[in-house]
């Protein structure tokens, strides 16, 4: 029985069984096109090394998985989960000009020097332009093969002939599959190109790194199904006004998710930052109202960052709430808890909250640090400079202990902090050189630290 054709919208990626002039999902005109595989042929039965079935009870007798390949860039190896896994597909996204191509060119050079046959395919630059960047970064001696091509069929043919162990595609939005009737960069093209490259990597046992552009809200452009296809999704983040960049794993089938690696952008490329806490706090001066140091954990790494708050009378009828680096909805929740449980109103006051250095924090354990920064700014009272704060706030005003308390305290002690404020009820841990002051609820915290509540 012949398989019925499938049609998809190049604007929203919705799939239908028939063609139409207007997409019923997004309302766009002339965006429906038929989907077709890049290679067609008779169906094959399961067989061979990749297709054969293996009983779970026999997995221990199978051949051991190949070891990971490390490139020598420790921050990148950390985010990958310990190194590059053979036959894996990795998607790297980030804002334009943030340094994705620079990072991957440096990684390609290091992998090639470690013995991996590497091909760097650029769809945005000519080979001569890539060589110019490599010369600026001091990578001209690396045995990396360069190619400038956007036709997906030609790229797959080249990879089939060269048989590399690592292929870097920069970027997936520039790839063009001749069997898909839409422009490069469209949803259909991105989905088809990602599928073919990922399938090729699994069949041939090579690793593929795809570079992806991001939208205005910071998400990787194209259909979300691309993120489901690949094994690992990395985001390269950073503020243009700051010199450091953060490589964050949001999905990783071969290692911990939410792991971060920190790099510093210099004239010679991206340098590793072995101690990111010291970098984030390097510009912190004398104690000032609204400044609080939060002892957080990103993946398996403890990181200290500074929360800065500013509270001022609002000249408008509706007060402003501006947040950079944290969740705005969680800020509104903490303001409501402070007013309802502690009797401290913020009505008629503009509230500004910022995570210093461009760091983005999503951990709930930052609640207490944010509350401390808000109260410090409102009361114009600075917290001691040698104190770190962490703990989660519930809607009842109770404080919940954070995980990995010992690691947070050790990182704080390493940087010279002598006291910490946290929630009561966690595992009793003791770190020499730092005193731990535990609080049962937010009301007790406000009363002891600021003398009110």
Mark the binding-site residues for ATP, compressed into ranges. Answer: 94-101
Q: Rounded to an integer, what distance in angstroms lies between the CA atom of residue 80 and that of residue 70?
A: 9
CA distance from start to end of the chain:
74
CB 246 within 8 A of CB 273: no
Task: Give the residue from 324, 318, 346, 350 showing the smallest Cα distance to 333.
Answer: 346
- Closest by CA to 325, choosing from 362, 300, 295, is 362
- The DSSP output letter for 162 is H
Tell me if residue 437 falls in helix, strand or coil: strand
Q: How many angstroms separate the CA atoms of 182 and 180, rounded? A: 6
DSSP assigned state of 258: T
Q: Shortest CA distance to 244 belongs to which of 393, 99, 446?
A: 99
Nearest to 254 by CA among 10, 39, 25, 67: 67
Token pair 């002598």 is found at 418
Feature table: binding site: 94-101
- The DSSP code for 319 is -
List 233's β-bridge partners, or say none. 91, 251
CA distance 81 to 253: 9
Other beta carbons within 10 angstroms of residue 341's beta carbon come to 19
Task: Give the dihedral of Cα atoms 121, 127, 130, 134; nearest 10 deg.
Answer: 100
Rounded CA-CA distance 319/329 in Å is 15
Q: Which long-range contacts (CB under 8 A, 24 or more apart) does 123-129 make?
A: 123/148, 123/149, 123/150, 123/169, 123/170, 123/171, 123/174, 123/175, 124/170, 124/171, 124/174, 125/101, 125/170
Nearest Cα residue to 171 out of 181, 185, 153:
185
Residue carrying the six token digits 């292929």: 167
Length of the chain: 453
Rounded to a whole number of angstroms, the CA Rg of the chain reads 26
d(CA 391, CA 368): 5
Kindly report the backbone phi and psi dihedral angles of residue 392, in degrees, each rounded to the nearest multiple of 5, phi listed first: -100, 140
């Amino acid at each position: 029985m012949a398989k019925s054709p499938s049609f998809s919208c190049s604007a929203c990626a919705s799939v239908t069984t028939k063609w139409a002039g207007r997409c019923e999902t997004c309302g766009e005109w002339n965006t429906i096109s038929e989907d077709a595989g890049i290679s067609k042929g008779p169906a094959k039965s399961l067989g061979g090394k990749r297709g054969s079935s293996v009983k779970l009870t026999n997995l221990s007798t199978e051949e051991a998985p190949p070891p990971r390949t490390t490139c020598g860039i420790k921050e990148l190896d950390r985010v990958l989960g310990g190194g590059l896994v053979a036959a894996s597909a990795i998607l790297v996204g980030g804002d334009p000009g943030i340094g994705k191509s620079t990072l991957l060119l440096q990684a390609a050079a290091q992998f090639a020097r470690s013995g991996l046959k590497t091909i760097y395919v650029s769809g945005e630059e000519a080979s001569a332009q890539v060589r110019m960047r490599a010369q600026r970064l001091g990578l001209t001696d690396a045995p990396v093969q360069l190619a400038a091509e956007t036709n997906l069929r030609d790229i797959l043919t080249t990879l089939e002939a060269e048989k590399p162990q690592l292929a870097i595609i920069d970027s997936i939005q520039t790839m063009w599959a001749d069997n898909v009737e839409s422009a490069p960069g469209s949803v259909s093209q991105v989905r088809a190109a990602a599928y073919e490259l990922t399938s090729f990597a699994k069949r041939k046992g090579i690793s593929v790194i795809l570079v992806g552009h991001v939208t205005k809200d910071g998400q990787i452009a194209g259909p979300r199904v691309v993120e489901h296809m690949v094994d690992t999704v990395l985001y390269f983040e950073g503020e243009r006004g700051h010199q450091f960049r953060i490589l964050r794993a949001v999905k990783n089938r071969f290692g911990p998710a939410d792991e971060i690696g920190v790099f510093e952008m210099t004239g010679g490329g991206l340098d590793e930052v072995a101690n990111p806490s010291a970098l984030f706090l390097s510009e912190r001066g004398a104690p000032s109202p609204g400044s609080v140091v939060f002892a957080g954990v990103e993946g398996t790494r403890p990181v200290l960052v500074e929360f800065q708050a500013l509270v001022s009378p609002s000249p408008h009828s509706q007060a402003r709430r501006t947040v950079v680096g944290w969740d705005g909805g969680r800020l509104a929740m903490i303001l409501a808890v402070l007013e309802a449980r502690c009797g401290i109103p913020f009505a008629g006051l503009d509230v500004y909250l910022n995570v210093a250095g461009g760091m983005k924090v999503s951990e709930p354990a930052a609640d207490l640090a944010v509350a401390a920064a808000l109260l410090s700014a409102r009361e114009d009272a600075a917290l001691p400079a040698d104190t770190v704060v962490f703990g989660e706030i519930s809607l009842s005003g109770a404080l919940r202990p954070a995980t990995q308390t010992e690691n947070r305290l050790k990182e704080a002690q390493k940087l010279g902090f002598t006291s910490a404020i946290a929630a009561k009820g966690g595992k009793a841990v003791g770190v020499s050189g730092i005193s731990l002051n535990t609080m049962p609820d937010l009301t007790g915290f406000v009363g002891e630290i600021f003398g009110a509540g």
